[in-house]
Amino acid sequence: MASGSVESQSLALDQLPTALLATIMTKLDISSICSMAVTCRTFNSCASHILSFLPNFHILEISPSMGLMKPLLPPNPYLKSLKLDCGQLNDSSVELLLRPSLHELCLHNCSDFSGKLLSEIGSRCKDIRSLYLGSVAEKRGRAILISDLEELLGGCTQLEELYLMFDLSLFLRHNFARVWALASEKLTSLEIGYISSVMVTELLSPNVGPHLYPNQIQPSILPGIQKLLLAVDYITDTMVSTISKGLTLLTHLELRDAPLIEPRVTFDLTNSGLQQINQHGRLKHLSLIRSQEFLSTYFKRVNDLGILLMADNCANMESICLGGFCRVTDTGFKTLLHSCSSLYKLKVCHGSQLTDLVFHDIAATSLSLTHVSFRWCNLLTNHAIRSLVCNTGLKVLDLRGCKNLGDEALPAISSLCELKMLQLDNSDITDAGMAYLRHGIISSLISLSVRGCKKLTDKCISVLFDGSSKLELQELDLSNLPNLSDNGVLALAKSQVPISELRLRQCPLIGDTSVMALASMQVDDDRGHGSNLRLLDLYNCGGITQLSFRWLKKPYFPRLRWLGVMGSLNRDIVDALARNRPYLHVACNGEELGTDPWNNIDGSYMHDYEELDELEQWLQEGEWESDDEEMEDAEEAEDVVME
């Protein structure tokens, strides 16, 4: 009876007027449209038709080839927004991608494109408003000329947002400012992947123009910028002062550097530079980060005085992020908390002199913090957390690297009923302490990380996930837990938590049994085995052998998009898996997978990637047999070697 009912419903949908079906399908995203397309011929025909007038086309979870993109991107004068991972595309796809109707263009992983991509956008996409380009010309043999950038900026006269996520420091400095003078007057948001501080200073400095009188100053380039995000070689006083003076409408400033050598005083940030920030009083969001990527270095020329001077201009700040200010003490940080009454987001990284005293009287302030991050602030203890939780609206709490935090902090944290992201990496918590989270916030958490918490064992899994409540948890990081074994993962699989990202890297007791358990895990009966996992990091897990790769093939883990393994296991099997699942990003060198929540904690978890396997099915249905054989051959060869 139930089967007949389903068939009659399917028949009724199949008989709907084509125009009505098209109207319904235009309300869906690309992955959902493809999901419908594989159900019947009528839906497939309708899906092919609506692609010619769909306003938005977004595929960022996979990187399709040119051959697969052609049927998905037919001529479409109504296409307004295109977002795509271009990992398998190059200059030959320019004509297919670039449409005059586009208002928004977002192209990631453009390493195989040359500078032609920029010039062609300038000539073909005159009406574009928002442009994101990632990793352009990063492959050997590809190059970007200053003329390519000139054509881009000169051609896109309606541009409002520009994100150039690649190295701009390679351009010749003497032409750089002249080219940017062509940029749209409507440009309000600019992000650059890498640029030298000297180029930024020269770009934004008002100079005497070539056709102006000696006492006449050339107006500032990019006067309409409100949001500026830059990764530079050094954050300097000169650059900060130039930005603060030249960009009078600035409300959002993010600067990050990663010095290769210890900076000299002329190439560093000092108290004087901090005093120049927010001269026009419009700044709401400020981020100054010194990364430890290449060298363990800090802002050694900034102390409490610099923070006090900056605080005078920061009364209206809503978000402050400071990384690498090793000489700032409780006095400086406390000044910020008491001066910025509108502050809702506070992040401090490598605050080596930040102690519990900063939060002693935080309850007396009018603050309503929702996002708090204290990474590698080693002097913080449980007392600080007990004071901090007076901000009951906290949604994000990042305490990574705070080694003195233990079980005593967890009862306080468990009282935060709105908490969505909790990161306790390298803390001193135990299995017993984790029980406080189960009775408090585990049902509301979306992301939990306990990486490097050495005292945790398999018991923490059963303590957290007892199956008594419905969970929203999507991301779980259990990496670098020396006492976590296959038994813990078996308990996790049995609990049927709908996790989409699971990190187990550097766990020596994790082996093939864990992979088999996760592959067999069923969250919902109609979704298949291991269905929810989009990311699985097994890098350097001690018990992983070639047996695991048999469970990493289809039909298991149908939505898996990122996989971390040891490439030294058997390179032939790893390569065969990559060919078997061309939309799976297989990382073998220990690199971290996915995105960093530090940079993407707002709205990261709102996307639903549920139907991506149907997209893959529609694109390459029936092409897996030969790849399965390749994997089997590789496994057999390995067996022979083992014998």
Q: What is the pLDDT of residues 124-162, one digit of tens each?
A: 999 999 999 999 999 988 889 999 999 999 999 999 999
Res 61: pLDDT: 82
pLDDT mean over 161-167: 96
- Quick check: 599 pLDDT over 50? no
Which of the four pLDDT bands, split at 50, 70 and 90, describes residue 92?
A: very high
Res 403: pLDDT: 95
- Quick check: 615 pLDDT over 80? no
CA–CA distance, 531 with 399 (Å, rounded to integer): 31
**Model pLDDT for residues 451-463, shown as the tens digit of each residue:** 999 999 999 999 9
How would DSSP label each residue in 571-633?
HHHHHHHHHHSTT-EEE-S-PPPS--TTT--SSTT----TTHHHHHHHHHTT--HHHHHHHHH
Res 601: pLDDT: 32
| 8 Å CB contact between 69 and 93 | yes
CA–CA distance, 46 with 50 (Å, rounded to integer): 6
pLDDT mean over 326-341: 95
Structure tokens, 63: 């990187």
Res 585: pLDDT: 87
Res 219: pLDDT: 59
The C-alpha angle with vertex 34 and arms to 31 and 37, in degrees rounded to 5, equals 160
Res 19: pLDDT: 78
Which of the four pLDDT bands, split at 50, 70 and 90, describes residue 170?
A: confident
Res 218: pLDDT: 54
**pLDDT more than 90, % of the chain:** 63
Res 397: pLDDT: 98
Which of the four pLDDT bands, split at 50, 70 and 90, describes residue 405?
A: very high
Res 621: pLDDT: 47
> What residues does 485 pair with on adjacent strands?
509
Sequence-separated (6 or more) residues with CB below 8 Å from residue 549: 570, 573, 574, 577, 631, 635
* Residue 641: φ, ψ to 5°: -65, -40
Res 200: pLDDT: 95
Segment among 587-591, 607-611, 627-631 with least mean pLDDT:
607-611
- Quick check: 524 pLDDT over 60? no
Res 378: pLDDT: 94
CB atoms within 10 A of CB 543: 18
| 8 Å CB contact between 326 and 292 | no
Res 14: pLDDT: 63
Structure tokens, 16: 């709907």
Which of the four pLDDT bands, split at 50, 70 and 90, describes residue 17?
A: confident
- Quick check: 28 pLDDT over 80? no
Structure tokens, 486: 């296959």
- What rounded mean pLDDT belongs to the chain? 86
**pLDDT more than 70, % of the chain:** 85
Coil vs helix vs strand at 203: helix
Which of the four pLDDT bands, split at 50, 70 and 90, describes residue 26?
A: confident
Specify the DSSP element, H or E, that contains 564. strand 562-564
Res 249: pLDDT: 96
**pTM higher than 0.85:** yes
Segment among 413-417, 466-470, 583-587 with least mean pLDDT:
466-470
Closest CA to 250 of 194, 188, 305: 188
Select the more confidently predicted residue: 543 or 575.
Answer: 543
pLDDT mean over 210-236: 77
Coil vs helix vs strand at 10: helix
Res 631: pLDDT: 54
- Quick check: 557 pLDDT over 50? yes
Closest CA to 559 of 513, 595, 524: 524
Segment among 108-112, 117-121, 554-558, 608-612 with least mean pLDDT:
608-612
Which of the four pLDDT bands, split at 50, 70 and 90, describes residue 36?
A: confident
CA–CA distance, 477 with 463 (Å, rounded to integer): 16
